[in-house]
Structure 1
Amino acid sequence: MVRAVGDSESEQKVIDDIANFGWHCVNIHPEGEHVGYAFTVGLFQTYGHPELIIFGLSAKVAHQILAIAADAARSGAPVDLTQPTDALINDYLCCFVEVPPSQYYEHVGYCTWYYQGNGFPLYQVVWPSRDGMYPWDQHATPGFRAAQPVIAAVPGGT
């Protein structure tokens, strides 16, 4: 697989982290109305595991959750992305939805740079509210939905 050369300090950090740790975590926390999020770069190349993106959590918590998934992939027992799991957040079932490539450019620019295109799978980690709701649930609050936009087709097509 051909990958980009690090032309800037931040690009070189991505390359170095992937070489040293197998993956890199990018945290995006914009000002204003946009929701913060984090995503992986390198999981697909290093472990054959889809890249992951998660919205609406602090940089620290998002990194911890993505690190759990990366550690599972490294150990050879990756998280099953077809089933809800509490392996990422104790006592809360996270779901995974496949993100279409049409969303890559807007959300995971470092991935498209690193892989030189959209030739990698990407899944969104969707976490529940404290009362077990997901953003697509009818009774989820507008605030919860706004904090965690779902950028993929939701389960059941709702």
Structure 2
Amino acid sequence: MSLSPQDQNLRNWLLEQSERHGHAVVTVPEDAEGAGYAFSVGAWRRFGVAEAVVLGLPPEMAEVLIRMYVTRAGAGERFVPGKLYFDFFDGVPVTFERVFKGFYTEFLGSAFLLHPKGDFAAVQIVIPTTDGHWPWQESAPAGFGDWQLLLTESGRPESWNPGVSGP
């Protein structure tokens, strides 16, 4: 794999962070295309657990959430898509969805520096509004579904049925 000096430096940093902390967190700021987001790189390599991506949270909160996920998953805890988890943020549930591979390049691009073939698993950590509305619900604020885009092929939950077997 022939990398530019900038990509080689990033790859070295990702590897160093992965060895030291079990993963690195890459943050991407909000832009004209959409909300800011953050994702892990190295969890798959280090622990064999899915990389995680979270959209629309402030970078500091996204980093804390991803670090908690990787720590717990790396210790053996498994997270079921569609199940609510109330112990990441006080009183605010989160759930998980599998990321469609078609989104990997756009939302997990730096991970390809460690996995050039894209042969890693990824999950999205999804968070409701403070009022408890999920991005796919009609009751969600206007634009929330675009702000926290669901990274499935359909753009809707695919690992569960909303309101039936998941939130």
> What is the TM-score with the length of structure 1 in the denominator?
0.87
C-alpha root-mean-square deviation of aligned residues, in Å?
2.2
Give 5+ residue unaligned stretches, structure 2.
none
Q: Distance in 2 between matches of 1:90 and 1:100?
A: 29
Equivalent in the alignment of 1:146: 146
Give 5+ residue unaligned stretches, structure 1.
none
Q: What count of residue pairs does the alignment treat as equivalent?
A: 155
Q: Distance in 2 between matches of 1:65 and 1:4?
A: 33
User: 1:9-158 residue pairs with structure 2 within 5 A?
Assistant: 9-74=9-74, 76-82=75-81, 83-152=83-152, 153-154=156-157, 155-156=160-161
Contact 1:35 1:148 in 2 (8 A): yes
Q: Distance in 2 between matches of 1:45 and 1:157?
A: 32
Letter in 2 for 1:95: T
Q: 1:113 to 1:5 in 2, by over 3 A?
A: same
Q: Distance in 2 between matches of 1:48 and 1:114?
A: 13
Q: 1:113 to 1:157 in 2, by over 3 A?
A: farther
Contact 2:18 2:24 in 1 (8 A): yes
Give the share of equivalent positions with the same residue, in percent. Answer: 21
* Deviation readout 1:48-91 (Å, 9 max, x if unpaired): 111100000111110000111111123x2424233220122121
Q: Distance in 1 between matches of 2:104 and 2:117?
A: 9
